[in-house]
A and B are shown apart, each in its own frame.
Chain A
């Protein structure tokens, strides 16, 4: 059980980091930032 958990932990950790790096390389940090600095009309209930 503990060994399985350890393997899963490192597997998820690796996948998380790989996803983040690939996303950063694709310029997704800027995409998130651009959306976050613009007023989200849906969030505030305008649509």
Chain B
């Protein structure tokens, strides 16, 4: 690996740690046994960071989106025009600017997965078909079920948060149950289910790179749709690419960036750029880059 590569990877780690701390900056609230009441919690963070984490100072966009959808019909019936546009617009704005850049550089749960992967164990590749599961999670657990299934009061549930999200279990469930005996007394089968899922994901993280991002994460899936139009983009100089696949070997999501620089799976971590022997990969905030998307001109 080149020295410049090490610098970029070091910078990325600093960004990840700074974001994990910055998104959970209210260190006093856990000491008081409460969750943060910061005014900034109305802002959607560009990361999967549970807003019930006691120190969180922003809202999780996936949780906020589900809560907008599960109260949509109730609000309309009550004559309130709260359609969830603020949350949808916030997610779209993140995607339009950076695509999945926040996944690679800001997400605390992404950082956790990368750190756990460093445990020296035999590594396993994730089968490609499992990556399509994330679309099912997004469509059903984040959009349709919160929107369509509701209780007698006319309100629905945040299905993804309730049944799947391991970030919520880790950042909120475990911490709050440790801090609050009242919460601890209420834990039952649902917590056991979510804790089991968290343990499974932690085990999977130790043998596969970013399994949650690749197979489940609804935020990454939504931001991935914007990789094709985002201002931040990867660029490939197809004339210099020798198709050595060094990029794919180091890629945390195992994609061939030279085939599709706008792949919805690309988390913009820039590891590929660091190992490319011909330096044919680059990146930047630009709408006039050359090379990107010209996949048919790659030499065999």
Report A's interface with B, CB cutoff 8 A. 1-2, 5-6, 8-9, 12-13, 15-24, 26-33, 35-37, 39-40, 42-47
Contact = CB atoms under 8 A, between A and B. Distances in A.
B228 A5 contact: yes
A33 B186 CA distance: 25
Contacts of B85: 19-20, 22-23, 26, 28
Nearest to B290: A2
A43 B96 CA distance: 28
B249 interface: no
B275 interface: no
Question: Shortest 6 CB-CB distances between A and B: which pairs?
Answer: A23-B86, A19-B89, A45-B191, A33-B42, A43-B168, A20-B89
B88 interface: yes
Interface of B: 35-39, 41-44, 50-52, 56, 58-60, 63-64, 67-68, 80-90, 92-93, 95-96, 157-158, 161-162, 165, 168-169, 172-173, 176-177, 183, 186-188, 190-195, 226, 228-231, 287-290, 293-294
Nearest to B288: A2
Contact of B288 (A6, A13, A33, A36): A6
A43 to B, nearest CB: 4
B226 A12 contact: yes
Contacts of B293: 1, 5
B68 A39 contact: no
Given A40-B172, A45-B187, A9 B89 contact: no
Contacts of B288: 2, 6
A18 to B, nearest CB: 7
A12 B97 CA distance: 10
Contacts of A9: 96, 229-231, 287
B42 A30 contact: yes
Given A23-B87, A29-B42, A43 B81 contact: no
Nearest to B176: A44
A42 B236 CA distance: 44
Given A23-B84, A43-B50, A44-B173, A5 B183 contact: no
Contacts of B87: 23, 28, 32
Nearest to B57: A36
B96 A46 contact: no
A7 to B, nearest CB: 9
Contact of A42 (B36, B158, B188, B229): B158
